[in-house]
Structure 1
Amino acid sequence: MASMDRTGVSGRLRSGDLLHAGLAVVLLLGVWGVSGLEVSTGKVSSIEAMNGSTVLIPCTYSSCIGIKDLFFNWHYNDNGTMLKLCEGEIPMEGVEPRGVSVYHERIEFVGSSKGNNISFLLWNITFEDQGEYICFARNPKEKNRNHTAIFTLIVVDQLKDPDSSLTVVIVSVLGGVIGLAIFLMVVKGLVVNFLLDGGEKNKDCLVNSGNDNTENGLSGAKADNKGTPKA
């Protein structure tokens, strides 16, 4: 009987250990997924720029577990062929990128560890520069997992005028409201004047009517009645 109890207890302990181990693994995986390195080209992943202008191709990185010897590079997708533009390494947090190599004559690397920034400037852009730019980063702290973000450049002859249709609608509505308000004020003023004029005319009519009655002898008749001698 004691043997059975010990067996049951040990079985429950092993089950508990397995459960705890499973929970620990799940938690570790969750923390790992949340704390990993991320690269981003910003909220807007594309830009429209004029031919001959200079544009910033942005990319930033972040990591909750920290970085060590972070490797990064940029590629341009030339119809499926990846052309390397620049590359470098960031030893650790707060240390400026080192060993940066640029492979394009119109590219200037402007990245800085102050803003976790690995962006570059592209000078005097042409229509051939239009397309996708891929920001790549690898952090040895994550067992060299790869991370990428894509930024799209669109080159045009001239920038489009902003759509002013909404502004036109708003101005038209406001103009209509103001015009209606003015019209109502004018109508109100005319009505008030009309009512005032009507009231004055009514008073004049009453006064004139009283005068006419007096002239017709109504008041005199009362006086005559008062003066009639008693029989």
Structure 2
Amino acid sequence: MPWAGNRGKALARWLGTGLLGLLLLPVSLSLEVSVGKATTIYALNGSEILLPCTFSSCFGFEDLSFWWSYNNSETFKILIHGVVKNEKSNPKLKLIADDRITLEGTTKEKMNNLSILLRDLDFSDTGRYTCQVKNPKEKDLQHNATIFLQVVDKVEEVDNTVTLIILAVVGGVIGLLIFILLLKKFIAFVLKKTREKKKECLVSSSGNDNTENGLPGSKAEEKPPTKV
């Protein structure tokens, strides 16, 4: 039956694709490089800035190569290049293009930190900084991450006026609701006490028997008429 043969071929292709995906998935997810959550950072002219870079590998690493590169619309250059022998050793630097740059990270104790410190910033340092890692243990698999540095003459202060107004309004509303709830409970308490007091008065009034007390409104004891 022709349709059965076509169906079998389609199933074989599907299984082959699935198995290939399973084989490639660990490799694709093994080596990762990160420069943090911020894609853009700002720094003052003349100050210093730490450019973060960390990496992770599920399979470990040997003779791992790493480098930082800088580029803008006109220039591309390698800033720093080094090698890490294994997980028990620190990076060994092979190239530092600028004496303002120092490697601040360590790869011992599973830190896997390749961050660099850039000092005496200038406006010309504005641009993209890429941290790239290559691991021979994973068939020279490479991965990189990029962060954009903007050098400015002053850091803009964030105006939090609107935020403070919103917080004040929300706080006022919450405080008003709490006050209303407390007032409601107080009124309920007063009403309850008032009802209890009235009930006690009614019970006390109905329990008093003044017929023999000689009090006003009581019935006087009737005496038989005196015989003459």
- With the length of structure 2 as denominator, give the TM-score of the two structures: 0.64
The aligned counterpart of 1:172 is 169
Matched, 1:145 2:141: yes
Percent identity between matched residues is: 37
The aligned counterpart of 2:222 is none
Specify the SS of the correspondent of 2:29: helix
Q: Distance in 1 between matches of 2:45 and 2:174?
A: 44
57, 61, 73: which is aligned to 2:55? 61
Q: Distance in 2 between matches of 1:183 and 1:111?
A: 57
The aligned counterpart of 1:205 is none
Q: Distance in 2 between matches of 1:180 and 1:146?
A: 58
- Structure exhibiting the larger radius of gyration computed from Cα positions: 1
User: What is the Cα deviation at residue 145 of structure 1?
Assistant: 2.9
The aligned counterpart of 2:124 is 128
Provide structure 2 residue ranges, at least 5 long, that are not aligned to the other structure. 1-8, 191-228
Matched, 1:28 2:5: no
Aligned CA RMSD, in angstroms, stands at: 3.9
Matched, 1:117 2:130: no
Paired residue type of 2:119: W
Paired residue type of 1:32: V
Q: Distance in 2 between matches of 1:92 and 1:166?
A: 49
- With the length of structure 1 as denominator, give the TM-score of the two structures: 0.64
How many residues end up aligned between the 2 structures?
A: 191
- Please give the residue correspondences for 1:88-107 in structure 2 after superposition, counting only pairs within 5 Å: 88-107=82-101
Provide structure 1 residue ranges, at least 5 long, that are not aligned to the other structure. 1-14, 193-231
Q: Distance in 1 between matches of 2:118 and 2:61?
A: 27
Runs of 4+, deviation exceeding 6 Å: 179-186
Change in Cα spacing, 1:158 to 1:24, as seen in structure 2 (3 Å) is closer
Change in Cα spacing, 1:140 to 1:183, as seen in structure 2 (3 Å) is closer
Q: Distance in 2 between matches of 1:79 and 1:39?
A: 24
Equivalent residues of 2:105, 2:113 under 8 A apart: yes
The aligned counterpart of 1:46 is 40
- Please identify which structure carries the higher helix content: 1
Change in Cα spacing, 1:70 to 1:80, as seen in structure 2 (3 Å) is farther
